[in-house]
Structure 1
Amino acid sequence: MPIKIPDQLPAAAVLGEENIFVMSESRAVTQNIRPLRVLILNLMPKKIETEIQLLRMLSNTPLQVDVDLLRIDDRDSRNTPRAHLENFYNDFEQVRSNNYDGMIITGAPLGLVEFEDVVYWQRIGEIIRWSHEHVTSTLFLCWAVQAALKVLYGMDKQTHGEKLSGVYRHQRLVDHEPLLRGFDDEFVAPHSRYAAFDGDLIRAHTDLQIFAESEEAGVYLAATRDGRQVFVTGHPEYDALTLDQEYRRDLDAGLAPSVPVNYYPDDNPANPPRATWRSHGHLLFSNWLNYYVYQLTSYRLEDIGKVFTYDHKN
């Protein structure tokens, strides 16, 4: 089954060329089924690129998924045309009264910024708390994990002295977790962050179940016991060239970045990189949609949130 997105969204053409089944809004109105509703809060600067990456991941499922896009505020973007934001994105006030089966909150380039200095910190906290009443399962990516740990558990951010960038090997820690169904015992995933996610600290300060971890990158995948919040500290949605683009951007900015580890063949940036994490990335998103969203959500959207109890520390 397809994902349903606006007819003119740029991602529609890109995914169509990749032979990914995308249903236009005009066609979807003839479907007599109850699709999943997923809200994406896109905090990344290059919003169109991130849209394509996430929609590609959401398409790998037999479920029909209706996607709404959300922006954190109405400030101008240096990387995304205003017309695109006005045509395809909602402000929070436009969706505040809605319920959603699933929500994704992306990362953001804020790894070295203190929470209280983030211009939209109060709003992101409001949205995270709102999601617990209006969303069946929320998936946090990279910086959004830091934000959620602070909002939900009061955990202060931890940072590395140097940016963690590259493709790291992880070990699955549980055998029969649906979120990891189909995963190898060891798998790789890309990271691009200053944030540190120490397993001992997370175990000491939260009730999260940790499903996958890396000796170099720390905790990769964790979730609440009710499946309402899923934490992914890396970027399984990244394209093959995303880390390369970030590396060369930092080079051009004079930041002297380290070469992303385990990414370029022979660790040589002159060699074109290849994605080695794509299969596990697709599995993660399809498992989340199936087991943590579709299997748990209420058939009636208006009932979402009524059967859950808010039990995290604020």
Structure 2
Amino acid sequence: MVQPLQIGILNLMHDKLRTRIELQQVLQQTSQAVKLHFYYPRMHYQNRPVPADVQATASPLDLTAVAKLDAFIITGAPLDQLPFAQITYLSELQSLFQVLTKVPQRLYLCWGAMVALHEIYQIGKQKLPRKLFGVYPQQILTADPLLQGLKNHFWAPHARYAEADRAQIEAHPQLKITAVSQAGNLFLVQNRFGNETMLFSHLEYQADSLMAEYHREVAAHPDRHYQLPEMQTTAAFAWQQTQQLFFQNWLNLVAATVNNNGGLIYG
């Protein structure tokens, strides 16, 4: 009997339940058997009770358990307008990154990608002139197993106020940019060893997730003006194929790395 891949997820998104459901959908509807372990950062709730919805959807981060996993995901977070130094649980993330060197594959999503690049590779981030928010065509710069089955101009959703410094990434000897949007915004960055992936698109989003994010921001700050998602396509779920192919490719990569006893399978 094939053992399922053991995948940990640090869920930092605002809507914990929606994010859990989305990641369950995209990771459990592939040909790879997986078991998901959801966590929350302990330090984020050190001076207050852990909300019931957080306790219901995740466990406190356990670094000993994380070290035994096959792969780990850090989600996005509504923190991209804050300096990293102001994140209340940054030291816990730093400890996590140290432990993740023992985990065969790591995937960082949106803000998770930004903080991983900053803490591991000293890559800065910059605020964008306005929120990058919508569905855009993407351009493949370098063929890669994670992009297998995708062609140039594939669709992907983006939702962020900041961007990791592209020039610093391009100058870093251990990093490579494999895909960007047609406007030049980052889509996919990887390390040269093939075991760390920084995905700047919210590919886990379902068809209604962008509008749900818009309504959440409006409800939180009704006095502010928020832009609707910019849809450069008329298809309601234009990135569905991208989503399916990417997560299948990533899980295939996890399985191949694990079967290779954690060894690097491409450089």
* Mapped pair 1:196 → 2:163: yes
1:1-314 equivalence runs, <5 A: 32-73=1-42, 75=45, 82=52, 84-93=53-62, 95-96=64-65, 98-133=67-102, 135-175=103-143, 177-216=144-183, 218-252=185-219, 253=221, 254-262=223-231, 265=234, 274-291=236-253, 293-298=254-259
Structure 1 residue 209: Cα displacement: 2.0
Over 3 Å off, 4+ runs: 84-88, 93-98
Separation in 2, partners of 1:66, 1:221: 25
Deviations 1:45-67 (A, max 9, x none): 21110011111111232221111
Separation in 2, partners of 1:54, 1:263: 25
Structure 1 residue 201: Cα displacement: 2.7
Instruction: Give the 3 Å change call, closer, same or farther, for CA 173–264 of structure 1 in structure 2.
Output: closer
Structure 1 residue 197: Cα displacement: 3.5
Larger radius of gyration: 1
Structure 1 residue 162: Cα displacement: 1.5
Would you say how many aligned residue pairs link Structure 1 and Structure 2? 259
Q: Are 2:148 and 2:249, in contact at CA under 8 Å, matched by a contact in 1?
A: yes
Q: Are 2:125 and 2:165, in contact at CA under 8 Å, matched by a contact in 1?
A: no
TM-score scaled by length of structure 2: 0.88
TM-score scaled by length of structure 1: 0.76
Which residue of structure 2 lines up, in the alignment, with residue 20 of structure 1? none
Structure 1: runs of 5 or more not aligned: 1-31, 266-272, 309-314
- AA paired with 1:156? G
Separation in 2, partners of 1:69, 1:279: 25
Separation in 1, partners of 2:177, 2:63: 34
Separation in 2, partners of 1:131, 1:234: 22
Separation in 1, partners of 2:11, 2:35: 16
Structure 1 residue 112: Cα displacement: 0.9
Which residue of structure 2 lines up, in the alignment, with residue 19 of structure 1? none
Structure 1 residue 216: Cα displacement: 2.5
Structure 2: runs of 5 or more not aligned: none
Instruction: Give the 3 Å change call, closer, same or farther, for CA 221–86 of structure 1 in structure 2.
Output: same
- Name the SS of the counterpart of 1:279 in structure 2: helix
